[in-house]
Chain A
Amino acid sequence: NAGVTQTPKFQVLKTGQSMTLQCAQDMNHEYMSWYRQDPGMGLRLIHYSVGAGITDQGEVPNGYNVSRSTTEDFPLRLLSAAPSQTSVYFCASSYSRQGGTDTQYFGPGTRLTVL
């Protein structure tokens, strides 16, 4: 199993550009989520999904879109990048849609810089 994979590892954008961060998992997990990690703020939940076709907002959803057309993939789209979106982005997955006691498995992260 590859686990949770993310591409790209690094990305530099100009203000106003759009891009998609890719996330895939091969563990047949129902739950997938996106976080951003910023110094002094820990990880903050952007969006999450409890199964194909079902997504919901987290703590900091503005400026980001997601979709879940398959169980395996959960891409994160930045519609019009802003310098405030400079961060490290992590995708995570866990087994069940209820969450509860499930452990989350994290990808290696994407370091995004917006100029």
Chain B
Amino acid sequence: GNSVTQMEGPVTLSEEAFLTINCTYTATGYPSLFWYVQYPGEGLQLLLKATKADDKGSNKGFEATYRKETTSFHLEKGSVQVSDSAVYFCALRSYQKVTFGIGTKLQVIP
């Protein structure tokens, strides 16, 4: 079956530091890849997505590139802010089923 692997964290960074959260996947076919973000006490919301190989998704300074050769979709941001503190989920969608990673908690300190 499909699977998504990401570190659980927490990842603690100082404000303005560079962020990378790794995500790798296994899937049959050609899935779409997503990053969702969950702020405390809320549901998940889409951060960015990529629907085919070599696509780059970007939003709010975050970006991730769909790498089919390495089956990866790593999330990056050049300069994090305290307001980016949240849990980040990598996910893949293959037809009707969505598979999530375990989520990575990010803490940004001033």
Contact = CB atoms under 8 A, between A and B. Distances in A.
Interface of A: 4, 31, 33, 35, 40-45, 48, 50, 56, 58, 90, 92, 97-104, 106-109
Nearest to B99: A45
B77 interface: no
Contacts of B4: 42
Contacts of B101: 42
B8 A40 contact: yes
A10 to B, nearest CB: 11
Interface string B17-49: 000000000000000101010000011111001
Top 8 nearest A-B pairs (CB, nearest first) are A106-B43, A42-B102, A43-B100, A101-B51, A99-B96, A42-B100, A106-B44, A101-B32
B103 A42 contact: yes
29 contacts: A33-B98, A35-B100, A41-B102, A42-B89, A42-B102, A45-B98, A45-B99, A56-B96, A58-B97, A90-B43, A92-B43, A92-B44, A98-B95, A99-B96, A99-B97, A99-B98, A101-B32, A101-B49, A101-B93, A103-B34, A103-B49, A104-B44, A104-B46, A104-B98, A106-B44, A106-B45, A108-B43, A109-B42, A109-B43
A43 B95 CA distance: 18
A31 B97 CA distance: 10
Interface residues of B, number: 24
Given A48-B97, A106-B43, 12 more contacts: A4-B43, A40-B8, A50-B96, A98-B95, A98-B96, A99-B93, A99-B94, A99-B97, A101-B49, A101-B93, A102-B93, A103-B46
Contacts of A42: 4, 89, 100-103
A107 B38 CA distance: 11
Contacts of B43: 4, 90, 92, 106-109
A25 to B, nearest CB: 12
B34 A100 contact: no
Interface string B79-102: 000000000010001111111111
